[in-house]
Structure 1
Amino acid sequence: MERRKIKFKEKFCKFHELWSPKIIAEMNDYQFKLVKALGEFVWHDHPETDEVFIVIDGSLKILFSDDFVQLNAGEMYVIPKGVRHKPVADTECKLMIVEPRGVVNTGDSTGDLTAEKDIWI
């Protein structure tokens, strides 16, 4: 079996779309997805699962109905299932999302930013 490291920098160079998660690995039923973020995403929630945001480069603000969390490179936050949130990036942010296979990026809100599922890079 060949052992290959996953290099985030190389993977981020393979796509330019914003808010469109790309799968880089799976572990059990979980997917590791890279995302480039800029501007505002949509308000949404994931009723069936928690969601993990790990900022690799830049910063990301996650808005909640009554508060927000500011994440910078090297920080992560777990959003509990069912919690409505809206990610916002004032400048381009590179992040990893970890969530179960099959989760739609816009959760309960579909629209222009709903990404095609299961795109591997």
Structure 2
Amino acid sequence: MPKKINLADAFSRFDDAWNPRILGDVNDAQVKVAKFRGAFDWHHHDDEDEMFLVVSGRMRMGLRDGDIDLDAGELIVVPAGVEHRPEALGGECHVLMFEPATTLNTGTEESERTRRDLERLD
């Protein structure tokens, strides 16, 4: 049965940064939310595109050929294979992501920030 999801409520349910939570599934993709603080690791995804929608705060998507800054209400789609590094600007940033369910947050890289078993908030 479909249900309504309040984004403010979803973000209030956790405090840690760079640890995505799953809000729901859309076919073979997932809707995820995460809090960003500071800069993440440079990485890429061989086969998966990713969409980042800034819900609150500001973020920079670091790209090897030039950074793109985003404000609340703006989004960016990073195509598969493109090396990138998300970064919160001026404190904390709340981000909604839409990506294939197979997407690992650190892409082809493994680090202490790699998250395999994501918590579901739905």
Same fold (TM over 0.5): yes
**2:41 matched to which residue of 1?**
42
What TM-score comes out, normalization by structure 1 length? 0.94
1:54 aligns with 2:76: no
**1:99 matched to which residue of 2?**
99
**1:68 matched to which residue of 2?**
67
* Percent of residue pairs bearing the same amino acid type: 36
Matched residue of 2:8: which SS? Answer: helix
**2:15 matched to which residue of 1?**
16
**2:29 matched to which residue of 1?**
30
Alignment root-mean-square deviation, CA: 1.0
- Answer yes or no: is the 8 Å Cα contact 1:12–1:34 preserved in 2: yes
**Structure 1 residue 103, shift from structure 2 partner:** 1.1
Taking the aligned partners of 1:51 and 1:117, their CA distance within structure 2 comes to: 18
Taking the aligned partners of 1:23 and 1:78, their CA distance within structure 2 comes to: 18
State the 4+ residue runs in structure 1 displaced beyond 4 angstroms: none
Extract unaligned runs of 5+ from structure 2: none
Matched residue of 2:10: which SS? Answer: helix
Aligned positions, number: 120
**Structure 1 residue 25, shift from structure 2 partner:** 0.9
Per-residue CA deviations over 1:59-108 (Å, capped at 9, x if unaligned) read: 11011112011011000000010000011113100001100112110001
One-letter amino acid matched to 1:79: V
**Structure 1 residue 113, shift from structure 2 partner:** 1.0
**1:5 matched to which residue of 2?**
4
